[in-house]
Amino acid sequence: MSSELSSAIKNVLSDEADVRIATAAYQAEFPYERDEEAQVTRREFCGFLFLTSSALFLGAAAFSAKAAYDAKAEARFAPAAINGADAMQPGSAINFHYPTDDESAILVRAKDGSYAAFGQKCTHLSCPVHYSKQNDRLECPCHEGGFDAKTGEVLYGPPPRPLDKINIELRSGQVFAIGREVRGNES
Amino acid sequence: MKASRTSSSKTPIGRGRSAVWQARLVLLVMINLAQLWILSAVVDAALAREFRHLGPLIVASGVCWLIALTIFLWWKPAGARRSGSA
């Protein structure tokens, strides 16, 4: 009796009393050594946290540097004809890929017959925008952002900056994309 | 190891040291959370091309890192400092 009591007291006072015991069947698949787990001390955990802090600082600095460098570097893209642009009716839009095959863009022909092209990624969270003929604007269905169909400026909603503008040129009746302009709140 | 941990937490000095370690841990966790928030703000500002916000955010993250460094290197229990071990 006294030995049972003393062992119970020992268990209560022990650091390890609340440690789960690897007895379940599935734990045979993931054996782990309790002794090794116990060796992760607070000191080591503090070390991990400090390393995490260093990584977060370096990550923030690297991301900022990359963003600033990309904004300064002028990208030049080869002109590309936009197929089907000449057959567009006023108040319509078509999709095309520019400057690479992975980047979709949208060409809008306004009701007055003028053309304007923009990158199709919403500047909020990169959902694809579409042309709303009814409202004559570009709309993002994800979070209800709206852009002017002629300028790409934000009309309403959460997008923080205008759509990327695709510069276009009319060459002997055919519409060519000749460059991309990333616009924003640079300062 | 088990014996030393149990005995050290029983004495007032042991409890004090334990509290200091616990405080370091909590402070470092809070600093990490703040830095995570700063990182998300950096990404947000960069995507919005609001580059004027990037500098202060990096400085803030650097200050957090310096505080973490200070806590990690020099914030130790008095007894540990005297004896040279924690």
Instruction: Considering only the beta carbons, identify the residue of A14, A46, A187 that sits closest to B25.
Output: A46
Q: Which runs of consecutive H residues, i.e. helices, occur in chain A?
A: 2-13, 34-38, 42-72
Is the ipTM higher than 0.85? The answer is no
End-to-end CA distance of chain A: 79
| Distance from C-alpha of A178 to C-alpha of A76, rounded to nearest angstrom | 9
Total-model pTM: 0.62
At residue A93, the 3 state secondary structure works out as: strand
Mean pLDDT of chain A: 82
Give chain B's radius of gyration (CA, Å). 18
Note whether A117 and A105 are within 8 A (CB): yes
Whether residues A56 and B39 touch (CB distance < 8 A) is answered with yes
CA separation (Å) from B25 to A69, B22, B60? 37, 5, 20
| Distance from C-alpha of A27 to C-alpha of A21, rounded to nearest angstrom | 10
Structure tokens at B54: 């990037």
The chain A residue lying nearest B53, using CA atoms, is A187
* Amino acid at position A54, single letter: S
pLDDT tens-place string over residues A131-142: 998 888 999 999
Neighbours of A146 (CB within 10 A): 18
| Distance from C-alpha of A27 to C-alpha of A134, rounded to nearest angstrom | 61
Structure tokens at A62: 């690297």
Q: Beta strands of chain A (E only): which ranges? A: 80-81, 92-97, 104-109, 115-119, 130-132, 137-140, 145-148, 154-156, 165-171, 174-181
| Distance from C-alpha of A86 to C-alpha of A171, rounded to nearest angstrom | 11
In this structure, which topology does domain A80-181 adopt according to CATH? Rieske Iron-sulfur Protein (2.102.10)
pLDDT beneath 50, residues of chain B:
1-7, 84-86
Question: Which residue from A60, A169, A102 is spatially nearest to B63, judged by alpha carbons?
Answer: A60
| Distance from C-alpha of B76 to C-alpha of B62, rounded to nearest angstrom | 22
| Distance from C-alpha of A13 to C-alpha of A16, rounded to nearest angstrom | 9
pLDDT tens-place string over residues A6-50: 665 565 555 554 555 556 666 666 666 656 556 677 788 888 999
pLDDT tens-place string over residues A80-125: 889 888 888 888 999 999 888 888 999 999 888 889 999 999 988 8
Segment 3-22 of chain B within 8 Å of chain A by CB: 5-6, 9, 21-22
| Predicted local confidence at residue A25, as pLDDT | 65
pLDDT tens-place string over residues A138-183: 999 999 999 999 999 999 999 888 999 999 998 888 889 998 888 8
Structure tokens at B80: 């540990």
Q: Where are the domains of chain A?
A: 2-72, 80-181
Q: Is the peptide bond before A160 cis (omega within 30 degrees of 0)?
A: no
Any idea how long chain B is? 86
Note whether A75 and A178 are within 8 A (CB): no
Whether residues A14 and B72 touch (CB distance < 8 A) is answered with no
Chain A touched by B40 (CB under 8 Å):
no
Q: Where are the domains of chain B?
A: 2-78
| Predicted local confidence at residue A65, as pLDDT | 92
| Predicted local confidence at residue A152, as pLDDT | 92
